């Protein structure tokens, strides 16, 4: 089950966090993985890890917010069976504390960056008679989270774009879904705590973990396994859906 042999998968943000876990898992399942990331060192390290394990990987170092660069990447790839839009950035701030520069930065990466990849990949999938797209939304698109104004805006857009793409390309045999994680323990979380709560990292980590009713943050591998299912042939009847993977955050918090 969940065999990705003969599949060409493009994963954005593949140099770290969830994207890295997806890349490693997809390669393990037989996909030829193209790692799209702005950080060459991180992407190269992931590609090396995949190759060392006998998998197939290549790196595409680019900024997803730049459409011309994204188009060049996909033109060079030639064909795409699976696109995982995992690249994204976060921000802390309310409507009156978010600067125009930060708002634009979030929009350019999280919304326009995803659009750029859709714009480039969908024609290749149509030519290939089908494909699968998985977008990374967030629980922030569904519930009010303090101090996440711009971030929540971008993830609401991701969820809406997912529905549009799923509807528009039914006849082209292109499926499109998104997932909405709650907090996931990545290097970003550790860096955020070290920067904003020096000396209180453990205390704040415990506090953030307990905002999920299940009592902990997710592991990147747990997110990757849901993405694998949704991108596999076993999920061929699923499109236009958003899957919370949140330890009960959206339904069990009172």
At 192 the pLDDT is 84
151 is catalytic: yes
Six token digits for residue 222: 């747990």
Q: Spot the catalytic one: 115, 119, 151, 197.
A: 151
Short-list 90, 111, 117, 102, CA closest to 16: 90
State the Cα–Cα distance between residues 192 and 183, nearest whole angstrom: 13
CATH class of 8-183+219-252: alpha beta
State the Cα–Cα distance between residues 82 and 199, nearest whole angstrom: 42
Q: Which residues pair with 33 in a beta bridge?
A: 9, 57
End-to-end CA distance of the chain: 38
Phi-psi region of 25 (alpha: psi -120 to 50; beta: other; left: phi over 0): alpha
At 195 the pLDDT is 87
Q: Could you list the mean pLDDT of each consecutive 10-residue stretch along the chain, which spans 254 residues?
A: 97 98 98 98 98 98 98 96 97 96 98 98 98 98 95 98 98 98 93 90 94 96 98 98 97 85
**Domains of the chain: which residue ranges?**
8-183+219-252
Number of H helices and E strands in the chain, helices first, is: 10, 7
Put simply, whether the predicted model's pTM sits higher than 0.85 gets the answer yes
């Amino acid at each position: 089950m969940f065999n990705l042999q003969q599949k060409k998968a493009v994963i954005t943000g593949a140099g770290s966090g969830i994207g890295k876990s997806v890349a490693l898992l997809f390669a393990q399942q037989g996909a030829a993985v193209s790692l799209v990331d702005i950080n060459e060192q991180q992407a190269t390290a992931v590609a090396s890890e995949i190759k060392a394990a006998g998998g197939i990987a290549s790196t595409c170092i680019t900024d997803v917010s730049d459409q011309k660069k994204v188009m060049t990447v996909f033109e060079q790839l030639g064909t795409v069976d699976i696109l995982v839009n995992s690249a994204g950035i976060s921000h802390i701030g309310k409507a009156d504390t978010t600067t125009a520069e930060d708002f634009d930065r979030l929009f350019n990466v999280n919304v326009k960056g995803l659009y750029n990849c859709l714009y480039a990949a969908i024609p290749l999938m149509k030519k290939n008679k089908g494909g699968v797209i998985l977008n990374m939304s967030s629980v922030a698109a569904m519930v009010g989270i303090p101090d996440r104004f711009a971030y929540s805006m971008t993830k609401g857009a991701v969820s809406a774009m997912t529905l549009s793409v799923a509807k528009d390309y039914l006849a082209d045999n292109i499926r499109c879904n998104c997932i909405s994680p709650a907090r996931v323990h990545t290097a970003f979380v550790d860096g955020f705590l070290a920067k904003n709560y020096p000396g209180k990292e453990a205390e704040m980590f415990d506090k953030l973990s307990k905002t999920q009713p299940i009592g902990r943050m997710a592991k990147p591998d747990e997110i990757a396994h849901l993405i694998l299912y949704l991108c596999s042939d076993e999920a061929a009847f699923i499109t236009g859906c958003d899957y919370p993977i949140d330890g009960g955050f959206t339904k069990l918090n009172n």
